[in-house]
């Protein structure tokens, strides 16, 4: 097994050979076909998340084929294609697990953060946290659905029934969720980095009725906004952009500090909330819906050994849509 391993916080990803391991009870081993690159991988690499396990193999948008099965697993078969998402394990007994909020589990494991992930040729996963993907669709095209799609979907649900929906940061997640929102007959307003005309054009191609810079006001007040970019400064801007009673959803795992803002921006029952992780039900709901919507992901693929280049290109915004590593 070959993998890109991050050895220490802030260190580069190193290409190494790892000993093959057999799956234990309740586990499966996947031969990886594709793994998406997510902004969270940058947060892991930059040491911005608490309690990170190092060394760690990043990557949590994994598409692979089952090639070994541990004892006690009867739901999956050798050769079956599955997806492994960010949520890698939950305890099943804490108060959050007990009330169907396993995304908030007290003792979770996260793929590519506290358990080894998909920047590798193979991965061991908890069989209960792997989604069967069927045989429709290309591996590379499906990979971004496993996080950008799933967390984006949870964020969209959290945004409620908003007709006029703002998306701040038009990267991997927004380019998927814009398609879902259009399919649901919502109006999408896309906010990008100031003067990122390529992203604005991309957003319009995907059905946004308006695209502009994040420091611009939308042409009409929004019912809700989702912030995908990791910039706290967007929070006051998004609150200003939503109408009375409107909602702002922060979808990222990490954000720079939120600058202070006048209470008037929150007043009139505007709501501000965050989305954390996903539940398995989110995954089942979204992956069942995705083929009906006909989501088309825009991907840029890199050989696995060029994971560092893919991450650097993501950081610099050098592509539209999502980067995907191929072993």
Which one among 91, 141, 289, 293 touches Zn ion, defined by CB under 5 A?
91
The two tokens of residue 299 are 């991907």
Task: Give the CA dihedral 312, 313, 315, 319, nearest 10 degrees.
Answer: -170
Q: How far is the CB of 316 from Zn ion (least distance, A)?
A: 18
Q: How far is the CB of 105 from Zn ion (least distance, A)?
A: 3
Residue 1 binds to Zn ion (criterion: CB under 5 A): no
Q: How far is the CB of 58 from Zn ion (least distance, A)?
A: 10
| Of residues 84 and 105, the one with the C-beta less far from Zn ion | 105
Which one among 38, 278, 314, 325 touches Zn ion, defined by CB under 5 A?
38
CB under 5 A: which stretch of 7-15, 33-41, 193-201, 210-218 binds Zn ion?
A: 33-41
Measured on CA atoms in the order 7, 148, 154, 263, is the torsion positive or negative? positive
| Residues 6 or more apart whose Cβ sits within 8 Å of residue 322 | 36, 37, 143, 144, 148, 171, 172, 175, 297, 298, 299, 300
Residue 9 binds to Zn ion (criterion: CB under 5 A): no
CB under 5 A: which stretch of 30-38, 129-137, 262-270, 300-308 binds Zn ion?
A: 30-38
Which one among 1, 66, 146, 147 touches Zn ion, defined by CB under 5 A?
147
| Of residues 91 and 158, the one with the C-beta less far from Zn ion | 91
Residue 76 binds to Zn ion (criterion: CB under 5 A): no
Residue 40 binds to Zn ion (criterion: CB under 5 A): yes
Residue 162 binds to Zn ion (criterion: CB under 5 A): no
151 burial (CB, 10 Å; 0-12 / 13-18 / 19+) is: buried
Residue 94 binds to Zn ion (criterion: CB under 5 A): yes
Q: How far is the CB of 253 from Zn ion (least distance, A)?
A: 8
| Of residues 90 and 121, the one with the C-beta less far from Zn ion | 90
Residue 97 binds to Zn ion (criterion: CB under 5 A): yes
Give the footprint of Zn ion on residues 105-124 (CB under 5 A): 105
Question: Interface residues with Zn ion (CB under 5 A)?
Answer: 38, 40, 90-91, 94, 97, 105, 147
């Amino acid at each position: 097994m070959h993998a890109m391993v991050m050895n220490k916080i802030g260190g580069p990803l190193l290409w190494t050979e790892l000993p093959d391991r057999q799956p234990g009870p309740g586990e499966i081993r996947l031969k990886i076909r594709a793994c998406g690159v997510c902004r969270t991988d940058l947060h892991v690499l930059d040491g911005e998340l608490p309690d990170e396990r190092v060394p760690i193999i990043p990557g949590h948008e994994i598409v692979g084929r089952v090639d070994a099965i541990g004892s006690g697993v009867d739901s999956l078969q050798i050769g079956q294609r599955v997806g492994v998402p960010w949520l890698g394990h939950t305890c099943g007994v804490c108060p959050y697990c007990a009330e169907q909020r396993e995304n908030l589990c007290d003792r979770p494991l996260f793929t590519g953060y506290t358990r080894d992930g998909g920047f590798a040729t193979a991965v061991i996963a908890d069989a209960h946290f792997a989604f069967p993907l069927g045989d429709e669709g290309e591996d590379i095209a499906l990979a971004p659905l496993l996080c950008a799609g799933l967390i984006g979907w949870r964020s969209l649900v959290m945004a409620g029934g908003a007709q006029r929906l703002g998306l701040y940061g038009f990267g991997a997640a927004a380019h998927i969720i814009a398609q879902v929102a259009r399919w649901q007959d919502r109006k999408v307003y896309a906010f990008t980095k100031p003067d990122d005309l390529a992203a604005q054009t991309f957003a319009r191609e995907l059905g946004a009725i308006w695209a502009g810079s994040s420091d611009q006001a939308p042409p009409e007040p929004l019912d809700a906004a989702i912030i995908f970019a990791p910039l706290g400064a967007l929070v006051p801007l998004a609150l200003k952009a939503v109408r009375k009673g409107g909602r702002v959803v922060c979808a990222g795992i990490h954000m720079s500090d939120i600058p202070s803002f006048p209470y008037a921006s929150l007043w009139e029952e505007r709501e501000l909330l965050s989305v954390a992780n996903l539940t398995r039900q989110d995954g089942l709901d979204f992956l069942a819906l995705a083929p009906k919507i006909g989501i088309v992901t825009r991907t840029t693929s890199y050989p696995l050994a060029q994971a560092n280049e893919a991450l650097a290109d993501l950081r610099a915004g050098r592509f539209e849509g999502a980067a995907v590593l191929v072993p």
